[in-house]
Structure 1
């Protein structure tokens, strides 16, 4: 049964990203898929909203000062530089529901536009002050892969 988030919901609060690992169907794992020290936060509110953003900590700075993504400076950057910035950062927000040890994120906004209006299902486990979120298997380079992100409560 799916239940709306409640006051005794163990996910409520803000969490800081500790690690991101890709686990492949053949049993091998690729640690540090977002770099050795990924940066990011995920927040769950008591009224059923959530937001997440994370990035590689070793992202290259842009070649010129950009004060706003809507500025002419942003539009004049090389497409390769923009692609690098885009592919090293991920963010989305929306609402969520819980069902046992599964949390489903319903996306209302996302850095990847095709995700808007979709639901992302995550299995979670709690261990003291950490929560581990695991994706459903996805095809990555022709290999079924599960992504595991470990977050620490702050």
Structure 2
């Protein structure tokens, strides 16, 4: 004779809920509203000492940000009108119109914190870069904290105001 053991209804419900919610929880942890490819629209710098705002990368900068499902971010941002360098001085000058880095990121409310492991400026490798962001439909607006940026250190403390649109391609 065969016997079957029956689980109490409450235990069955608990096991069912736990099993069905596990994939959802895992998905929610890897999902982020930032996930995907973002195309650079504008890059402005606000100078702290006088409040002046400058389009330091030109009126039409180019670049992308990519936030992966695995929580890695990649940035390659370049200024308008860059031309191939012909000598060391011109190559050095190109660094003034380039921002590029990658690292693992985590979200904290309206901020992301990226732990950089590669960057165009070696001083940034091993640092945490925190950015405040707002999402408005398909537009991402990013604000850096006040700091002295290597590309325009002569301006003193600045903060960047960077705008992206979700890439369609």
Report the TM-score when normalising by structure 2.
Answer: 0.74
Post-superposition offset of 1:6: 2.6
Of 89-98 and 131-140, deviating more is 131-140
Which has the larger share of helix?
2
Q: CA RMSD in A?
A: 1.8
Instruction: Say if 1:5 and 1:46, in contact at 8 Å, map to a contact too.
Output: no
Is 1:42 the counterpart of 2:65? The answer is yes
Q: CA, structure 1 residues 113+145, in 2 after alignment: closer, same or farther (shift >3 Å)?
A: same
Q: Which of 1 and 2 has greater Rg? A: 2
**Take 1:51 and 1:5, find their aligned partners in 2: how far apart are those partners?**
19
Q: Would you say how many aligned residue pairs link Structure 1 and Structure 2?
A: 136
Is 1:152 the counterpart of 2:161? The answer is no
Partner of 1:23: 46
Instruction: Say if 2:47 and 2:155, in contact at 8 Å, map to a contact too.
Output: no
**Take 2:117 and 2:127, find their aligned partners in 1: how far apart are those partners?**
8
Q: Which has the higher contact order (CA 8 A, sep 6+)?
A: 1
Of 107-116 and 23-32, deviating more is 23-32
Q: CA, structure 1 residues 126+27, in 2 after alignment: closer, same or farther (shift >3 Å)?
A: farther
Aligned residue runs from structure 1 range 1-154, under 5 A: 6-7=30-31, 9-26=32-49, 28-63=51-86, 78-139=87-148, 140-141=153-154, 143-154=156-167
Post-superposition offset of 1:143: 3.9
Post-superposition offset of 1:94: 1.2
Deviation readout 1:93-147 (Å, 9 max, x if unpaired):
1110000000011111111111111110000011111111111111444643211
**Take 1:114 and 1:83, find their aligned partners in 2: how far apart are those partners?**
16
